[in-house]
Amino acid sequence: MTHTNEQGILEIGFVGLGLIGGSIAKSIRRVFPNYKILGYDSDKTALKNAKEDGTLDVIVKDVYEEFYDCNYVFLCTPVGHNMAYLSILKDALNPDCIITDVGSVKEPIHELVKTLGMEKRFIGGHPMVGSEKSGYSSCHDRLIENAYYFLTPTKKVPQEKVTELDSFIEELGAMTIHLDAEDHDRFTAGISHVPHLIACELVHQVAKIDTKDGILKQLAAGGFKDITRIASSSPEVWEQIIISNRKNISSILKGMIDELSTLYEAVENADNEYINEYFAVANRYRSSVPDNAVGLMQKTYEIFMDIPDEPGELLKVFGLIQNINIKNVGIIHNREYEEGCLKLVFYDNESAAQAEQIFRDNHYIVYKRN
């Protein structure tokens, strides 16, 4: 572990207490309750709430003056803002402090680090977690638990500093993966950034064909809502991500445009062979993705079940799992891509598995999504 004070306590600063920054801060508070956590955010309500719930020890009013004694400073604002704060913090921290970030684009900030001569003090970071929700109110202390966490060290940062941060992140429950910045941005363009654009485009297309009274909003449940959920993410955050990683994103989009043009021709010409193979190739790759893979969007633990449309049936169902914490409940009206009319969402896989077994033991038909 990195240098601590005489009591063995780290001081950790946060610039930004949104979903990611706030959740990491909460994780640190849970795992290391004695560590000193300092926080700055332009959202004064977030700071107030973080202080009141015990996450923060100190509300920072001036990042240039108050982070000097920190062992780590996490930059947790949108990509462009992180780079601005990096310049401010260059001469505002003690020489032993390591600066890290949580941005999903790494090349631009690494280039700035090199320009500023800060390569010995910076280790890029990116927890592969997220949600369509944002802000401190959506934070929780286990968001990064069991999630992959990219670290992108510079070539000049001391190896012991990399090892210390690696150990620290893993003690919070995440699984670290080391990449260089270029590979990181190429990978995340494919598995995160372009999917966000595609989700938004699907929403745009459906909005264009919707009726004046918005009937598609009522019908577009199931698969449509599932694959477009990420389209509800913060426009400001994603604007900066897309622009910052535009080289990799443009390359993938060009490939998609070319393939969609071919697919368009196949559909127009009723080319059964091409269309079948198109689905088959996607099916094979999708089926090879492990069920326990940890993605960039927060994993959900869902079960679906059929229940009789009878008085008291829901009460009976909830009574069977009264000792299991439920995150969300929904009644499915459009079952095109859903099995079962009752959807239950849990906080973890263990709770979902326990509920599934209870329902099966009581002769309910239960489905789990792969």
| Span 247-270, pLDDT tens digits | 999 999 999 999 999 999 999 999
Span 91-105, mean pLDDT? Answer: 94
- Which pLDDT value is given to residue 133? 67
Q: Is the pLDDT of residue 179 over 60?
A: yes
Determine if residue 36 is left, alpha or beta; phi over 0 gives left, psi from -120 to 50 gives alpha, anything else beta: beta
Phi/psi at 177 (5° precision): -135, 130
Question: How many CA atoms within 13 Å lie on the side-chain side of 54?
Answer: 10
Q: Comparing C-alpha atoms, which of 8, 2, 28, 13 is closest to residue 66?
A: 13
**Which residues face 127 on adjacent strands?**
149
Write out the two tokens for 188: 């995340």
Q: Is the pLDDT of residue 296 over 60?
A: no
Distance from C-alpha of 120 to C-alpha of 90, rounded to nearest angstrom: 12
Distance of CA 328 to the CA centre of its chain: 19
336 or 269, greater pLDDT: 269
For the entire predicted model, the pTM comes to: 0.73
Determine if residue 247 is left, alpha or beta; phi over 0 gives left, psi from -120 to 50 gives alpha, anything else beta: alpha
Task: For 17-66, write each residue's pLDDT tens digit.
Answer: 999 999 999 999 999 999 999 999 999 999 999 999 999 999 999 988 89
Phi/psi at 4 (5° precision): -120, 175
Q: Is the pLDDT of residue 291 over 70?
A: no
Q: How confident is the model at residue 131 (pLDDT cuts 50, 70, 90)?
A: low
Across the chain, mean pLDDT equals 86
Q: How confident is the model at residue 117 (pLDDT cuts 50, 70, 90)?
A: very high
Task: Give the neighbor-by-neighbor strand order of the sheet with 36-40.
Answer: 58-59, 36-40, 11-15, 72-75, 98-101, 122-127, 148-153, 175-178
Q: How confident is the model at residue 161 (pLDDT cuts 50, 70, 90)?
A: very high
**Cβ burial 104-126 (10 Å sphere, 16+ → b, else e):** bbbbbbbebbeebebeebbbbbb
Distance from C-alpha of 327 to C-alpha of 305, rounded to nearest angstrom: 16
